Amino acid sequence: MRTAAVVPAAGRGERLGPGGPKALRLLAGEPLLVHAVRALGSVVDLVVVAAPPAPGAAEEVDALLRPVVGPARLVVVAGGGTRQESVRLALAVLPAEVTGVLVHDAARPLAPAGLARSVLAALDGGADAVIPALPVTDTVKLVDAAERVVQTVDRSVLRAVQTPQGFRRDVLAQAHGAPGADRLEATDDAGLVERLGLPVLVVPGSEEAFKVTRPLDLALAEAVLAARAGRS
């Protein structure tokens, strides 16, 4: 299997607060995107990054990543107005020989390389679509429009989903190209595959693959890196 990682990195990071595109915000002195790509470069043959659409950003991102991408090839494209659009723009430049694709958020900088490997292994084992996920630890309630509780949901059947998500290339292309897919605003790629009625396999996620969304997540990421440094 020839593999590529598609990395959507074009978001603004509004929930993180002021300070520029989230993928370029610093974590232990390096942009989130650098951490994310360093882990993937040792696992796949090609990394395609959807950079912030601002003028010059793609060139800046290319220069930033070239020293850290390792043995993988690197291609940087300008991202779009939504995550889904950014993924679509990156998929459009995949060379014909790629048969397996990981899609990984730049906003999950500490997802271990081993997680990407386990997703690829499940693809190799014959799955069409593979997602890493963890059990939900909070109690989850369904509410109505007035914030009144309707019901407590059985959390034993719920999973919190992460990236990297893995797909057979043709399946992912079909999911993103399906009629009306551009109007769905799916928050992950597996959601589009589900719409095709195809099976999506869940594998164990990693606590370190959490998404940096709000300022507290950045503080947690700093602490995880400090703990890793202490262990090595």
SS (H, E, C) 26-68: EECCEEHHHHHHHHHHCCCCEEEEEECCCCCHHHHHHHHHCCC
Which residue number, 206 or 213, has a Cβ lying nearer to Mg ion? 213
Region near ligand CTP per CB under 6 A, out of 11-19, 125-133, 164-172, 222-230: 11-19
Q: C-beta of 156: minimal distance to ligand CTP in Å? A: 27
Contacts of 56 (CB under 8 A, 6+ apart): none
Contacts of 127 (CB under 8 A, 6+ apart): 166, 199, 201
Which residue number, 1 or 26, has a Cβ lying nearer to ligand CTP? 26
- Please identify which residue in 82, 99, 174, 206 interacts with ligand CTP, judged by CB under 6 A: 82
Which residue number, 1 or 28, has a Cβ lying nearer to ligand CTP? 28
Burial class (CB in 10 A: 0-12, 13-18, 19+), 168: buried
Q: C-beta of 158: minimal distance to ligand CTP in Å? A: 20
Residues 2-21 that bind Mg ion (CB under 5 A): 11
Answer with the entry of Mg ion, ligand CTP, none that 147 interacts with (C-beta below 5 to 8 A by kind). none
Spatial distance between the Cα atoms of 196 and 216, rounded to a whole number of angstroms: 36
Residues 205-224 that bind Mg ion (CB under 5 A): none
* Positions in the binding site for ligand CTP (CB under 6 A): 8-15, 22-23, 50, 79-83, 86, 105-107, 211, 213
